[in-house]
């Protein structure tokens, strides 16, 4: 085991923009090592107060699921792997030592991957720290049409309440949640990363290409990350599609106003053709 390993590739966002697909697809490569659960939350836990409230719970949930998968699906059980999971669940968690231990089981011939979309939202001080901590990492930022991304996030947040229908008051409360305004705020988030990382390190991709040309997108990722071409048998498979849900007009009006500002920024930053034919 290499206790000093860090990720070589980090997908930093955006939420509801295909990051689960990215994680699962890259995980099929033998030369890529992925953690036992998606979204490690190391950097956002350190720099975003909102995330500190629930990130430890997410880690414990992910580790519990990883252990259950191993115990029920592997025979004989790997005691070293189970001890590794137990170590990751033992306090202190989510500090630098813990984060490096996550990647300690990776092989010398593998690149390590961390996919955590909340990283895109960390403040300037967080991005500065990120650059010092991972100066050579290759970064991926998947950008989705702002309005479609917001509507998908709304449906996800509403479904988490485990109700068939929400009241107007409950919808209004969702609109006030910080996550709704920050996790797709390209206008604020992207310039922070642009200021600190060159195009050689930071790659922006349009979400729609996952559906239209997943292999082409993956070839771009391979080139960016120094990976040889590989076969991806299930690259066209949908991952974690949010269930349909009626969204009230007053909620749609709110997010449409927000999305219009984001759309103008995307057009200015990436050009009018960035989403063309990939919506």
Q: What is the pLDDT of residue 243?
A: 78
Q: What is the pLDDT of residue 9?
A: 99
Beta strands in the chain (DSSP E): 9-13, 32-33, 111-115, 138-143, 202-206
Q: What is the pLDDT of residue 278?
A: 57
Q: What is the pLDDT of residue 75?
A: 86
Q: How far apart are CA 52 and CA 214, in angstroms?
A: 34
> Token pair of 81, please?
């792997």
Q: From the CB of residue 108, how many other CB atoms can be counted at a distance below 10 Å?
A: 6
DSSP string, 149-186: HHHHHHHHHHHTT--SS--HHHHHHHHT-HHHHHTT-H
Residues 6 or more apart in contact with residue 46 via CB below 8 angstroms: 94, 126, 129
The residue count of the chain comes to 279
Contact 182, 113 (CB under 8 A): no
Q: What is the pLDDT of residue 206?
A: 98
Q: From the CB of residue 146, how many other CB atoms can be counted at a distance below 10 Å?
A: 25
* Sheet of 32-33, strand order: 32-33, 111-115, 9-13, 138-143, 202-206
Q: In terms of Cα–Cα distance, which of 166, 156, 172 is closest to 251?
A: 172
Q: Please tell me what DSSP assigns to residue 17.
A: S
Output the pTM of the full model.
0.95
Q: What is the mean pLDDT of each run of 10 residues along the chain (279 residues)?
A: 90 97 98 98 97 97 98 93 97 97 97 98 98 98 96 93 89 94 95 98 98 97 98 90 87 95 96 78
Residues 6 or more apart in contact with residue 103 via CB below 8 angstroms: 2, 5, 6, 7, 33, 35, 112
């Amino acid at each position: 085991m290499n206790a000093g390993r860090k990720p070589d590739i980090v997908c930093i966002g955006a939420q509801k923009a295909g990051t689960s697909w990215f994680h699962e697809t890259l995980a099929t490569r033998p030369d890529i090592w992925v953690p036992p659960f998606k979204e490690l939350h190391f950097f956002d836990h350190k720099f975003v107060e909102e995330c500190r409230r629930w990130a430890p719970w997410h880690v414990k949930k992910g580790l519990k699921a990883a252990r259950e998968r191993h115990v029920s699906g592997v025979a004989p059980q790997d005691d070293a792997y189970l001890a590794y999971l137990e170590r990751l669940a033992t306090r202190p968690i989510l500090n630098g030592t813990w984060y490096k231990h996550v990647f300690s089981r990776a092989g010398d011939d593998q690149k390590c991957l961390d996919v955590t979309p909340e990283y895109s939202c960390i403040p300037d001080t967080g991005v500065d720290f990120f650059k010092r901590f991972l100066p050579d990492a290759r970064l991926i930022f998947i950008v989705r049409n702002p309005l479609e991304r917001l509507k998908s996030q709304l449906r996800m947040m509403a479904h988490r309440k485990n109700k068939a229908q929400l009241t107007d008051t409950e919808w209004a409360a969702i609109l006030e949640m910080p996550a709704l305004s920050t996790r797709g705020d390209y206008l604020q988030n992207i310039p922070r990363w642009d200021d600190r990382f060159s195009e050689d390190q930071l790659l922006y991709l349009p979400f729609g290409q996952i559906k239209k040309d997943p292999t082409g997108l993956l070839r771009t990722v391979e080139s960016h990350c120094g990976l040889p071409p590989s076969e991806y048998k299930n690259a066209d498979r949908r991952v974690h599609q949010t269930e349909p849900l009626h969204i009230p007009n007053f909620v749609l009006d709110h997010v449409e106003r927000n999305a219009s500002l984001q759309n103008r920024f995307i057009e200015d930053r990436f050009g009018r053709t960035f989403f063309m034919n990939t919506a």
